[in-house]
Amino acid sequence: MANYSDLGDIFLVAPVAFGVVSALRKFLDLPHRLPRWNRWLTWIWVPGGLLYLGARVLNIQSSTLDEAYWLLVLAGVMAVLVAVRDYRPARSLLLAMGPLALYWLIEYLLELPTGKVPKQYDSALDTTQVFVSIWLITFIIIARSQKKTLEKERVLREEEEKAKRLIEAQNAQLEHLVNERTAALTHQAEELRAALTELKTTQAQLIQSEKMASLGELTAGIAHEIQNPLNFVNNFAEVSTELVTELEEERDKPDRDLELEADLLADLKQNLQKIHQHGGRAASIVRGMLEHSRQSSGERTPTDLNALADEYLRLAYHGLRAKDKSFNATLKPDFDPNLPPVEVIAQDLGRVLLNLLTNAFYAVKQRQQRGEPGYAPTVSVSTRRVGDAVELRVQDNGTGMPESVKAKIFQPFFTTKPTGEGTGLGLSLSYDIVTQGHGGTLVVESREGEGTEFVISLPA
């Protein structure tokens, strides 16, 4: 403190204090942190000037006023540091100024009585002054280091904020683009949905058309197949009427022949049994037609595959004969008598059999029309148990298929028949019914010019 007093004139102390305070204001960034305090500190030279004028007018020794002014400046600086103590460099400067302020206060108090420090305190004060100076310089360096670190952090934060704002702007732009793209995709999705709905409607119409075509084949077959039991019923009914007439005539005779009456009654009973038998056959054919034509319930029931295959073999054959009376073929059923009932959807599997058999008869008819000598159209249906599965085979000795056709045979809308004779959905629907509806397999084996065999495998 004495070295500052040696300036000898407070007129020189005020500019020095102003410079120190200005450096502090800049170091602590007071214009932004404490704007009001910053304005007040710009007038820190005013008290020094007033003290200088007072010393001149009153002829007072300037050294005492110098010390008082420095204490005032120091108090102002300490107050500012306390006000911005949340700022780490400010806390470091506060720690740096603490010992200096205490040292100046003690020295000032010791000088008050005589204006000089007693000699017995010189050594202690000199040692203390060295310690205070080292302490002050050390914490000033620390404060400067902290300020640089905080400045780097501030610059880094600003860069991060700038990058964040840039990312937000890019995100906003991307979001705008995404919204535009989403709107376009939504519009396309709506168009595709409408197209899909129209496609499903068309597909349903084609499937219904295919079902009606198979129903037409079935109806034609039934019309021929049902004719046989109806003829039997009519014939036996006519014979039964004649037997009843003979029985009535015999009963009216005075001399009745009981043995003849017994024979007539036995013949009548046998005829009624035949009528019942063929009537049941006709009823089963009609029932099969109704089951085939109605919507499938989707419920699996134990089904005799031998009876189902035999029935549709004959119906498919008679269906083709209804269109062409000249067509004849050999039917070869080969059924496993020990085949147990299999859980299937009878209506759906009946459609599959009808489709495969209709194609088989169509193939042998096409080969027959070529006029090959010695050719005999033959279609066979067989069943057998193979491990945990049941196999149902439909085989013909028709035209067969080349490999290029066989690779596409189960594709929707693929057909080798002329326009108007097939939709190309029969085998595709049959494949779906067997594989998806029953968990089985449907494969085809064929050689061109030799024949074709379809193999249905179902879980037993």
> What would the pLDDT profile of 251-306 be if each residue is shown by its tens digit?
777 777 777 777 777 877 887 887 877 677 677 666 655 555 555 556 788 989 99
Tokens of 82: 């306390």
Residue 119 has pLDDT above 70, yes or no: yes
Residue owning tokens 């019914």 = 433
Question: How far is the C-alpha of 311 from the C-alpha of 334, rounded, in Å?
Answer: 13
Q: Could you tell me which residue, 442 or 226, shows the higher pLDDT?
A: 442
The position carrying tokens 């959905």 is 425
- For residue 27, the model assigns a pLDDT of 79
Residue 447 bridge partners (DSSP): 451
Q: What is the pLDDT of residue 7?
A: 35
Give CA–CA dist 286/362, Å, rounded. 24
pLDDT of residue 8: 42
167 vs 418: CA distance, rounded Å: 65
- Pair of tokens at residue 253: 């005779």
Provide the β-strand partners of residue 385.
390
What is the helix (H) or strand (E) element at residue 21, kind and residue range? Answer: helix 10-28
Neighbouring-strand partners of residue 456: 392, 442
| Cα atoms found within 13 Å of the Cα of residue 324, Cβ hemisphere only | 13
Count CB-CB contacts under 10 A for residue 394: 25
Residue bearing the bigger pLDDT, 312 or 62: 312
Q: What is the pTM of this model?
A: 0.46
User: Which tens digit of pLDDT belongs to each residue from 399-454?
Assistant: 898 888 888 887 776 676 665 555 556 788 888 889 888 889 999 998 888 899 99
DSSP string, 203-226: HHHHHHHHHHHHHHHHHHHHHHHT
High-pLDDT (> 90) share of the chain, %: 12
Query: What's 437's DSSP letter?
Result: I
SS3 337: coil
Residue 1: per-residue pLDDT = 40
Q: Average pLDDT, stretch 93-104?
A: 77
User: 87 or 45: which carries more pLDDT confidence?
Assistant: 87
Share of the chain above pLDDT 70, in %: 78
Average pLDDT over residues 177-200: 87
pLDDT of residue 127: 84
Q: Answer yes or no: CATH 2.40.50.100 is held by domain 299-460.
A: no
Q: Can you give the residue ranges of every domain in the chain?
A: 2-166, 226-294, 299-460
pLDDT at 38 over 80: no
Residue 2 pLDDT class (50, 70, 90 cuts): very low
Contact between 31 and 38 under an 8 Å Cβ cutoff? The reply is: yes
